[in-house]
Amino acid sequence: MALSSSKRVLPGFGLSLGSSLFYTCLILLLPLTALVMQLAQMSLAQYWEVISNPQVVAAYKVTLLAAGVASLF
């Protein structure tokens, strides 16, 4: 009877995937948590004032334009 040994194509895949997911979540979740905490302290009028600021609207436009160009090419 032959012993069934599972050879993985990518050794160490579980560890590298786990560490990659950990740092990705850390990089994404920390700023998002800070943003939500900051927004929780604002009223709706203050929030609207922030997102309708001309500099913020210009940043939205640049971001959407860059995303559109990146998706086309």
User: 4-58: per-residue pLDDT in tens?
Assistant: 556 767 778 888 999 999 999 999 999 999 999 999 999 999 999 999 999 999 9
CA dihedral 50, 29, 34, 52 (to 10 degrees): 0
Q: Output the pTM of the full model.
A: 0.59
The closest of 20, 2, 4 to 12, measured between CA atoms, is 20
Where do the domains of the chain lie? 15-72
